[in-house]
Structure 1
């Protein structure tokens, strides 16, 4: 019989366009996370990251969580949920106080953060994150702990991630309908960056490309925080659809062909290797199956990849990811499991590309250790860190010093330029 969840237990829930996955983890004495149970179900009610069928998605959530509960032998009540739909925006707001050279006290930091909270203008969107990223002392950026230091001016960069309100509310309603409490809804790029990027990569500058089933999120990290984000309404399921359409087969078989025979690279042998294809309407897959060359299959895959990588390249250019710093790209998500995609992306983007996989988890099943589960692992890391969020601040601390730039709301491109 399952027992009640102990204090401090973490349950992550990733609701994607192709799968719904859940993970129950427990923080260890040394701060590491130990996986107790995982669950996965096919996602039937999500399109391009948006919930299109509430009942179908709710059923998948229930089944994925119940599977994780059975493996862990624990009943859970609340979850940390990932949000990966398009419409996410990332901005960096800045605010400064005059201190007059005295020593920084906690009251000064509290007043600064409260004023920063009041200065945020989501412009009609729902704020998912409003976190103090780095502090500034007399114009010097990159201070993580200003308490106890002397300064004439104290400032802070506030990382704000917002999204369209309705999709977020639908996600929240779906999870609560499955009788689960939503601890927080986390933007997918924020979580994924924690699981497959090192602290040094986030500091020096790196682009994270999450190739999901229906959406590809391109995010830019610099100075230790996410400074740019854009979404592309294409993903790995579009490759599957192209294969199904080109060869007149069902999506299920097209997916198998992509996973077992498909590749982003080509070789002379592809022209001689034959792959059986069952056409739509053919009931018996063992008889009268037509055959195609592997070269034909890879040609369809590469045509779609060419279009997708072109969109990724344009997104990186718009985010000002260029110059000597803009060289490292980390590819993750379910689409990153396609054979040869890292080599293809490296040639197409002209940058160093590696595959990002979840790391730092003890007891993670091998089946859930690939790039498709990077967001799920990142949600657990985010929950364990439980970073400060300005939305949770209460009260109105008295401002001891005169604030400067209360209305300043810097766009992400300006912040990125400052880092490059």
Structure 2
């Protein structure tokens, strides 16, 4: 693909492009989105149709972190070009999922005295600016921020405080931040593809939107995405995004364990995992034999192992991942608010027996979910492995419940003030 891209008038406003750069794949979706007035639906339910899909094997990415700019760039270019050809449009900007940079949640309150006695948009903008500054302490970069609760003169319950008489307003905020350098490298890859980043979205949030219902999020739920290079989670309580986290543990480690134990190439280990991998053994596993080649052997000699032996390789790594999830959930003070329900997604979540194993280990109800149906989405990209990229579209087209998208620009700039105003209009 040519390194130079020449754009016409830019991407139509009704067209959205989203991009998920993961460890095992790069996925891009292009969709047309009709306004509520055009579709006749509620503002929270715009009509959306997939126009283009592109996905390529990821290169230059490890554990969700860019380690080779050139290889990562080529993979992104290929995925975007594939989606553009199918959609018949050229993207100039994308909404980008972020899973790198040791994602961390921060929960805090911002308060402001109301000088004029009536809450103005500027009062709320001032608190959000203070929240951004607080979240970015210690060299962190803000990825996502949303309102959790709002109080007027100490009384909770207000949804849109603008125009209300008040002496003081307080907002409980939840922010997701990332280490600056990994995030900058991710943005650099996208920029080298001549694409602007319209917004950043925390990958755990996007994935959760795709696989949980509004009722689940209102009652409390934790969505866990077990991908190839990372496992992330997002907690919801009373329909608010309250906590997120990620760790560099995933299906790629399981594949490596198989390759090392059987002394077989990684590609063959991935095939074995997909065809025979399971976490919970069965009596027939001792008789279920599979064949594979050994790494480095020139002769076409096939070796054999039983499925029971494969379970012994896979289970310890899966247990380590589940144990890490338990530790992270137990360490979170907001875990009780999110209830006991767990939803698993991500490519690794579809491994046979993983959900039952996780439910037994965690002592909580667990279900495996694929992304919700979107018009025009091909069956090939409807698996759990594509939850994040589908959730990105939902995050950017549905009404954002108290969510403010930070784009990393100068907070004093006009564009920043416009963004704050947009969040206030959509969030309350």
Report the TM-score, using the length of structure 1 for normalisation: 0.85
SS at match of 1:12: strand
The aligned runs of 1:174-185 (5 Å cut-off) are 174-185=189-200
What's the counterpart of residue 88 of structure 1? Answer: 103
Change (3 A) 1:141 1:32: farther
| Distance in 1, Cα, partners of 2:362 & 2:85 | 44
**Which of 153, 158, 166 in structure 1 is aligned with 2:181?**
166
In structure 2, the residue matched to 1:367 is 380
2:22 to 12, 16, 40: 16
1:332 aligns with 2:311: no
1:98-109 equivalent positions in 2, closer than 5 A? 98=113, 104-106=119-121, 108-109=123-124
- Cα offset for 1:120? 4.8
| Partner Cα distance (1:348, 1:192) in 2 | 23
CA distance in 2, matches of 1:134, 1:320: 16
Match of 1:414 in 2: none
The one-character-per-residue Cα deviations of 1:57-112 (angstroms, maximum 9, x if unpaired) are 10100111111111112221211111112411111221234459966454554454
Which residue does the alignment assign to 1:78? 93
State how far apart, in whole Å, the 2-side matches of 1:307 and 1:118 are.
36
Q: Matched residues in 1 for 2:129 and 2:293: separation?
A: 62
- Matched position secondary structure for 1:123: helix
Counterpart CA distance in 2 for 1:283 and 1:225 is 57
In structure 2, relative to structure 1, the CA distance for the partners of 1:222 and 1:244 (3 Å cut) is same
Q: Secondary structure at the match of 1:179?
A: coil
Please state how far the C-alpha of 1:327 moved relative to its aligned partner: 1.0
Report how far residue 357 of structure 1 moved. 2.0
Distance 1:253 1:374, change over 3 A: same
Aligned residue-pair number = 393
CA apart distance, 1:118: 5.5
Secondary structure of the equivalent of 1:158?
Answer: strand
Contact in 1 for aligned 2:220/2:337 (Cα 8 Å): no
Mapping of 1:193-208 within 5 angstroms? 193-208=208-223
Which of residues 114, 136, 156 is equivalent to 2:151? 136
Distance 1:325 1:166 in 2: 31
Q: Which residue of 2 aligns with 1:270?
A: 285
In the other structure, the counterpart of 1:6 is 12
Q: Which structure's relative contact order is higher, taking Cα pairs within 8 Å and 6+ residues apart?
A: 1
- Describe how 1:104-123 pairs up with structure 2 within 5 A: 104-106=119-121, 108-114=123-129, 116-117=131-132, 120-123=135-138
- Equivalence for 2:423: none
1:38 pairs with 2:53: yes
Where 1:75 maps in the other structure, the secondary structure is coil
From 286, 291, 296, the counterpart of 2:309: 296
Q: Equivalent residue for 2:332?
A: 319
Aligned partners of 1:162, 1:351: CA distance in 2, in Å? 28
CA spacing shift, 1:342–1:164, aligned 2, 3 Å: same
Q: Does 1:47 align with 2:62?
A: yes
2:32 corresponds, among 12, 26, 30, to 26
Q: In 2, distance between residues paired with 1:58 and 1:339?
A: 34
CA separation of 1:92/1:65 partners in 2, compared to 1, >3 Å: closer, same or farther? same
Query: Per-residue displacement from partner, 1:174-222 (whole Å, max 9, x unpaired)?
Result: 1111122222232211222222222332333222211121111133222
Q: What residue number does 1:401 align with?
A: none
Distance 1:212 1:140, change over 3 A: farther
CA distance in 2, matches of 1:315, 1:234: 13
Distance 1:323 1:170 in 2: 36
The 1:280–1:309 alpha-carbon spacing in structure 2 relative to 1, beyond 3 Å, is same
**Residues 86 and 232 in structure 1, CA contact (< 8 A), matched pair in contact too:** no
Quote the Cα distance in structure 2 between the aligned partners of 1:168 and 1:343.
35
Question: Where do 5+ consecutive residues of structure 2 fail to align?
Answer: 1-6, 415-428
In 1, are the aligned partners of 2:287 and 2:306 still within 8 Å (CA)? yes
